[in-house]
A and B are shown apart, each in its own frame.
Chain A
Amino acid sequence: MRRRCWTTSVIRLVGVAFWYPQWGADKWGRRVGKEFVGEDPRQTLEVDVLFVGGGPANLAGALRLTQLVARHNEQVSTGERPGRMLEPRIALIEKGRDVGAHALSGAIFDPVALEELLPDYQDRGFPFVQPLIRHDFRYLTTESSIRIPDCLLPWARRHGRCYLGSLQKLNLWLGEQVEAAGVSVFTETCGVDILYDGARVCGVHTGDKGLEAGGGKKPNFEPGTAIHAKLTVFGEGPYGTLSEDLIHRFNLRDGCSPQSYALGVKELIRVGRTGAPGVAIHTIGYPLGPRVFGGGFCYGLDDHHFAVGMVCGLDWDDPQLDVQAQLQRLKKHPDIQRFIKGGTVVAYGAKTLPEGGYFAVPRLVVDGAMLVGDSAGFVNVPAGKGIHYAMKSGMLAAETIYEALVEEDTSAARLAVYETRVADSYIMRDLYRGRHFRQAFAYGRLPGLLLGELTAWTGWGPRKPRRARCDFQTLRSLGEARSKRWTREPAQYDAGVMVDKLTDLSYSGTQHREDQPSHIRILDPVRCVNHCIPRFGDAPCIHFCPANVYELIGEGQSRRIQINFANCLHCKTCVIKDPIDVLATDHIQNISWRAPAEGGPRYQGL
């Protein structure tokens, strides 16, 4: 083994330190936000409650808050309740072009939270119209498959009264409801920095638009706005830029397992003939090797559309695993082919999801801010569901915010009720029950399946977490990787339903101006060449990125990584899986991803 020379390390560290401030003096690490100073030269917007991110958690939260305020005001006006009327200014910012443009899920949707939020949702144009009729869980071998009977499945895999549909459409619809309820929804507005007043969160700063690649201002430059809020709710989805800043600044993950993630890629396939509406198939086995946690799905969304996808836990060890290529192999399998044969791909997208479960849920509250949804990690892995947990968490946050507004107290101590509410709700009840499911798969697929299903079924198991590694620590060199049984055979592409990554990418509608500043940086490109490439044969980022953002160019000594940031799908895989931990602090990878003020995928129907 090569011993590390300390002088080299110091030189590298100093190099990074010199380089970093060029990008923004206040961005050392990801933890330091902007200190709020009374005289901000930029334009400001004052609101009472700010929701950062337009996903199901925040949309449900914003809607719930307007409902509670309306009820409060009605009761005050009729004299049922003492006190004054509330008129909170509520705003929601979303970086996508529309609400839902960056949202992707399978999706099987359990309407339990929505029923509580909008009992009359069916009369309001609810977009999930296809009930789940038949569910199959299959173990795939290369050519055939075995159906695992429902009686062997744990409680969580039984999808009772669920719907199949598109999360993008759900969010768009919820966004319309939220806007009609009087919330100011700002799309194409991205929070880039948290504003602090001492240790208190007091809003976010939105990104500058109209910048040139070098950082200069174009003629249509539009500076960002400082949105000041009494209360800020972060629901940015998995690995939210600001949520992670907040978590690290306040050590909210102290005493938790590190969050682990999975990458899901999904295609929407249109077939000419009548499909199989209401059928949901989940698969394990082929094409993934036994050491990879994950599987495929195929949902019949309506008469002509299928959602086909592949989800892989990011703790795989094969440096060349490519989930998009695995999806193509899955689509070749006769069990999937019989549905999608002759179809065409009409949409593509990728997104990570948090899979750490119960033990990785951080503390949810700081002074002036709360975490909801995937940013907090509310995904029930054995059930493969998270949308209704996200919505419920947003609603619980809204109930707490409402009380805080009535009492005019937004301190962490007052907001801590939210943590208690989450702990007492079905969110944590379900997460606790499935707490060992994901961790059990660290022993491999078969032991994991047996152990995981058993613990999820019975709820047995230790109360303490198994020691878990961060996802970026698990890659092994090509020779040592154990997860490569089927993963080597090249995927076959054709003009129809089997598509390569770049063609797939064109179906995502992702767009970033080519002359905008790159939102992805490699902090120390030298380490890619000196560390990554010799160790893994080539750069793992060119394989794990589902959008071909990373490209290895040049020969021999002049090899380097080129970043095609315009391709980015905002899935966050790179920043989670990048094997180089620049400062050995567990959370500053060599790849740095900050949410861009402009651009991103434009998902339709995903």
Chain B
Amino acid sequence: MKLIVCVKQVPATESMLAVRPDGTDIERSGLTFIVNPYDEFAVEEALRIRERIGTGEVTVVTLRSHAAQKPEAALRTCLAMGADRAVLLSDPAFEDGDSFTTALALAAALRRLSFDLLLFGKQAVDDDEGAVGVQVAELLGIPHVAVVNRLEVDAKARNLVAHRQIEGGIEVVEAPLPVLVTCQKGLNEPRYPSLPGIMKAKQKPLEVLACHTLGLAPDTLGAAGAKLRVVRLELPPPRPPGRLIPGDAETQAKELVRLLHEKEKLI
């Protein structure tokens, strides 16, 4: 069974972001990048499916969406976790695009690689769009199940049962392979790469695909083909400082009630 996981490298969640002077993007140089946490669930699930079935191949695919990224490191992390193959889509034409151009490039690459199951994270934690996975499914003409937190794959019957969390309940979906699934937190607990795994990952080759090998026109991709234009980015306004009410418990409580009643008019 061939499993392909698409991952994205995102700025580390604790990064202190700054908006570039022209206001259309964040300052990306000097940032630390990590594998998108939702994509780690997808990698882990693919590895578990491979382990359960006993055979199969897990391929990780990523696309360099900005020049400052180091997607090789993200692929090495996934290989160290246990993936078999890694494919990197790297071309200046792919960069600075939107979710549509990313999906276009990924779909073109995925058509060249055969697969039975495609796994994505439900969204990347940098722009939080959650759009690439479903767009790829649409472009490839296969069904998709989004935001999955439990997955059972039947390799013989070539179908899967996925549980999705919905408002006030769980939706159980059955789908025939090939299918695209986007993964939600709670699906599994991603493994830690072992030292021998990291050693082996360093030996494995990375396949690099460029725009022309995929037979795509550069003007439909990246910044040139983007259907979305960022007009302006702003940081949220700083939070005003909290106030500490002095005194013992009784005076504190009295003062709090007074403030809530008279100043904030909440009670």
Contacts and interface: CB of A to CB of B under 8 A. Distances in A.
Interface in B186-209: 188-196, 198-199, 202
B191 A184 contact: no
A507 B238 CA distance: 14
A496 B239 CA distance: 10
Contacts of B16: 346-347, 507, 604
B15 interface: yes
A495 B240 contact: yes
A43 B44 CA distance: 21
B199 A222 contact: no
Nearest to A598: B192
A209 B14 CA distance: 21
Contacts of A186: 195, 198
B233 to A, nearest CB: 17
Contacts of A493: 241
B194 A222 contact: yes
Contacts of B191: 210, 220, 222
Contacts of A210: 189, 191-192
Contacts of B31: 604
B40 to A, nearest CB: 11
B245 interface: no
Nearest to B34: A97
B107 to A, nearest CB: 32
Interface in B169-196: 188-196
A567 interface: no
A592 interface: no
B30 A605 contact: yes
A495 B240 CA distance: 6
Given A493-B241, A507-B16, A602 B32 contact: yes
A189 B191 CA distance: 14
B26 interface: no
Contacts of B238: 344, 495-496
A463 B214 CA distance: 73
A130 interface: no
Contacts of A604: 15-16, 30-32
Contacts of A347: 16
B15 A45 contact: no
A184 B196 CA distance: 11
Given A184-B202, A218-B189, A494-B241, A225 B195 contact: yes
Interface string A259-270: 000000000001
Contacts of B137: none
Contacts of A328: none
Given A495-B240, A604-B32, A209 B195 contact: no
B18 interface: yes
A186 B196 CA distance: 10
B216 interface: no
A274 to B, nearest CB: 13
Interface string A477-517: 00000000000000001111000000000010101000000
Given A219-B188, A220-B192, A602-B32, 6 more contacts: A45-B199, A222-B194, A225-B195, A509-B12, A602-B12, A604-B30
- 6 nearest CB pairs, A to B: A509-B14, A222-B192, A220-B189, A209-B192, A225-B195, A346-B16
Interface of A: 43, 45, 97-98, 101, 169, 184, 186, 188-189, 206, 209-210, 218-220, 222, 225, 227, 270, 344, 346-347, 493-496, 507, 509, 511, 602, 604-605
12 contacts: A45-B195, A169-B30, A189-B195, A218-B189, A219-B189, A227-B195, A346-B18, A493-B241, A494-B241, A495-B238, A509-B15, A604-B32
